[in-house]
Each structure stands twice: as C-alpha cells, then as structure tokens.
Structure 1
C-alpha cells in the first residue's frame, strides 16, 4: 500500500469534468499539490456524503493551491451524472480499468453483493514532487476521513 514518503504512482485516466477529458497525475501536481479522494462508487449514500464534504471544503483547499480529485471505478459518464446530481465543484477520475486502485493497492470486494475490485475509501495528499505527504485508508467503507486532518495536511503539502 502507498504510504507517506512514497512516490505516488503516476497515472493517466479519463476525467469527468462536465465533459470527458484526460488527466495525468504528474501534470496535475506540476500545478500544485493534489488530494486524491478514492471512493467505492457513485450514487451511494456514504460516497455522496464524502464527496459533498470535500466540496464544502473546496475553497479552503483552493486557497492553499490544492486541487481535489475524486477517484472511483465508475465510468466518466456516470461520474459526470454524479457530479451534476451533487453539484460538485471538482473533477472525478475514472478508474474503470482498476489500474489506479491496483497501483495504490487499495482494492476491496463486496463479496456478498458480487461486486469486486472497488476502491477502498482512501485519501492521499500528493505534493509537487509526487511525494505522498498524507495517507489514510479505511478497511470499513462506512467510515469517512477526518476532513479537518485532510485539509491541514493538504495546506502544508
């Protein structure tokens, strides 16, 4: 699993930004630190609350030069509908091929539901050198991160 001090695995993936574009982590961090907020799936109650909570803190993060990206296995088309439904002001990264969650070693299964290789709820703050300066991973998909802690970590990245 990716930990504080590790080089964040680079990736290029579809980006749901109201349209569908492409995002590369190394390009994104060149503009300043990023928060990667992994969530299991769009249109679920805890994931919706988590993304809305990040959206509520977006101004604090933007003032510090930090960009937030939500990351899930949903297609960018589903993610755009999710963004619209919640009125999110940040973009979502589609990892439908599961390469990012594999690189960060945060895959989980909901075996009882027959759903496999979802992202664990996890947050990584990555600085301009692509160094992970904050890492939080939950084995319980019902637990959300400490948003104050994430904002503080992002502001000092």
Structure 2
C-alpha cells in the first residue's frame, strides 16, 4: 500500500458536456509567456479542433504534472489540434507559471471560475464552501464546438487518462 502525504477525495458526479453535446463558448484572457488578450473559444476553433484542459490552480501539483505530461506527449505536432488550458489563476500568475514551467500552451485565465461552472466541472476547493476551482477535465472539441471526447476527474487528485485522450485524437 502506498503511503500518501494527502487524502484522496472522491468528487461528486459532474454534469459536464458529453460526447455529441455542443460545448459552451466563452471569452476570457488567453495567456501565453509574453502577454494576454481576451479571446473567445470560438476564435480558437477557427483554426481547427481544440483540446480544452481544465487544471487546478497554478502551482498545485496536479496542474504541474498535467502540463509536464502534455509537453512530453506533444500532441500538437502529430495531430491537427490546439491544446489550451483553463485555470482559476489570474493572468499575471499564469504568465509567470507559463514562463517558469516552460509550458508550451496558452491558458485561459478564469479567476471567477465561470468557465468551469458553464462546463459543470466546479468543486469546492479543499471543502471550503464558496471557494472553488475546476476539477481536472479534458474536452476535445471539433470546429463547431461538438464534444468529441470528455473526461472529468472522479477524485482528487486525479489525472487525465492520457492514452485515452491520445486514442481520441487519433480517431478525430
């Protein structure tokens, strides 16, 4: 048995968009390592499919691990897809995190957690009522915002099933 320094917490079921549903559009600051600007999800979809990756706040180990894994897999090179994140962290922190951790992808900054709310992937942060963050989630969206693949964490911490995501990208 593995001795963890933290408790694994089961999360309630999420009411998120499923395969075949149309995902919500939104506009938030899209951050990279140099600047940010308000962008809509639809504007990114003009260039093709998007793999939308919700992570915990910047600096939390699940977010760091997820971005490291995505960098290693480099899906944008082998697939016609843009990988884009969503975090509750503010644009200033997100810019620094992208620089410090050499994240290769832009990340939407959503400090009010409204995007996660629209996607049905909100949970109370550490059980604190009124303090929320997105639960780890992945949505593969085609150019019309149709969900081609959906995964949402069932416990904290939980990480995307990267091989399943790769299979969905291969099938898209």
TM-score (norm. length: structure 1): 0.92
2:141 is the alignment partner of 1:126: yes
Shift of 1:29: 1.1
2:77 is the alignment partner of 1:56: no
Residue aligning to 1:156: 171
Q: Which runs of 5+ in 2 are unaligned?
A: 1-15
Asked if the contact 1:35/1:69 (under 8 Å) is kept, the reply is: yes
Deviations 1:2-53 (A, max 9, x none): 1111001001110111211122111111211111110111111121011111
Q: Which runs of 5+ in 1 are unaligned?
A: none
SS in 1 for 2:131: strand
Determine which of 138, 144, 153 is the counterpart of 1:138: 153
Shift of 1:96: 1.2
Shift of 1:111: 4.2
Q: How many residues align?
A: 156
Asked if the contact 2:53/2:136 (under 8 Å) is kept, the reply is: yes
SS in 1 for 2:156: coil
Residue aligning to 2:52: 36
Shift of 1:151: 2.1
Residue aligning to 1:70: 85
Q: Which stretch shows the higher mean deviation, 67-76 or 18-27?
A: 18-27
2:62 is the alignment partner of 1:46: yes
CA distance in 1, matches of 2:128, 2:118: 24
2:43 is the alignment partner of 1:27: yes
Q: Between Structure 1 and Structure 2, whose CA radius of gyration is higher?
A: 2
Kindly tell me: are residues 112 and 132 of structure 1, through their superposed partners in 2, closer, same or farther at Cα, counting changes over 3 Å? closer
Shift of 1:112: 4.4
